[in-house]
Amino acid sequence: MTAVPLQPPRRLVDLTLDGEPVRAPEGATLLDACRAAGKDIPTLCQGDTLTPKNACRVCVVEVEGARTLAPACSRRVEPGMEVRTDTERARHSRKAVLELLASSVDLSTTPRAAEWIEAYGAEPDRFGPDAARVDEEPKVDNDLYVRDYDKCVLCYKCVDACGEQWQNTFAIAVAGRGFDARISTEHDAPLTDSACVYCGNCIEVCPTGALSFRSEFDMRAAGTWDESAQTRTTTVCAYCGVGCNLTLHVQDNEIVKVTSPHDNPVTHGNLCIKGRFGYQHVQNRD
C-alpha cells in the first residue's frame, strides 16, 4: 500500500461569527467555519466533493464592509473578518430565493426545503397561479436512472461531476438561456445516444432528486419508497481490485440504490457503472 504523505498543519485564522470569536483553518470557507461553530446555514448547490459554483445563493451571509452579501460556500475566511449569518438582509435574500425556486420547480424531494421555506417565511404561492413553472415530464429513456428536470434548480453539480471535476465524459451541459435554460445532452438526444457512460456520479451529487435511480423513481410513483425503513451497509465493490466503497440502501430485503461515501480516499463518492448499478445479480432469485 502506498503511504500517504503527511501534510503540514494549516494555519488558523481568527474571525468573528455573529459577535463570537472563532478560529478556522486558513483556506476554509465561511460555510466550513459556520458549520464548525454549529451554525445551520442553508445551501442547495454546495457539495463536499465539488468546487463551489455559487449557483443557488441560499447560503449568503453579511460580511462587515462588503457591499453585497457573500456566498458562504465559496468565500474564504480572512483574518479579522466580521460575519453575520442571521441578519434581516440575509434572511430576506434567502426567503426571496426560496420563493422563486419553489414557485418554478418541484422541491418535494429536496432535503430540508420545506423546513427552510417555513423557517424563512417564504410564500411561493404569492406569485399566483400564472407564475411560470418548468413543468417538464420525467425523461425515462434507459433502465438505470431517470432525469426529472421539473425538480432541477440548475445548480450545475451534475455538469461538474460529469465534466472536468470528476468523470471527464462531458455528456451533459447547460442548454438554452434565461428561464429556458436546461441541463441537456448534446442536441437533446436520448441518454442512450449520448456520451453518457452511466457512472451515476451525477445522481450522487444531485441535491433535489432531479436525477434518481430508476428503482427509486418507480417506487416513489408506487408509493412504496420509504427511507425510514431502509438500512445502509457499506462494503467493498467486488468487480475489480480498485477498492471502491459501496453503500447499499436496502428496503424489504432488496437493494434499492447504491451510493458511495464521500470521505473515501479511493472514490470520493464516485463509482463506475458496475459499482453503481451492477447490483441486480445479488438479488436475482431466478
- 282-to-104, 198, 240 alpha-carbon distances in Å: 40, 19, 16
**146, β-bridge pairs:** 212
pLDDT in tens, 12-50: 889 999 999 999 999 999 999 999 999 999 999 888 899
> In this predicted structure, what is the pLDDT of residue 265?
86
The list of the chain residues with pLDDT below 70 reads: 1-8, 284-286
Cβ(41)–Cβ(35) under 8 Å? Answer: yes
* pLDDT given for residue 266 in this prediction: 84
What pLDDT, on the 0 to 100 scale, is given for residue 11?
A: 87
Torsion sign (Cα): 259, 264, 268, 274 = negative
Q: Helix and strand tally (H, E) in the chain?
A: 7, 12
Residues 148, 150, 154: CA angle, nearest 5 degrees: 95
Radius of gyration of the chain (CA): 21
Q: Are 155 and 55 in contact (CB under 8 A)?
A: yes
Q: What's the confidence (pLDDT) of residue 3? A: 59
Distances, alpha carbon 22 to alpha carbons 15, 17, 35, 147, 215, in Å:
6, 7, 12, 42, 45
Whether the CA torsion 45, 51, 53, 57 is positive or negative: it is: positive
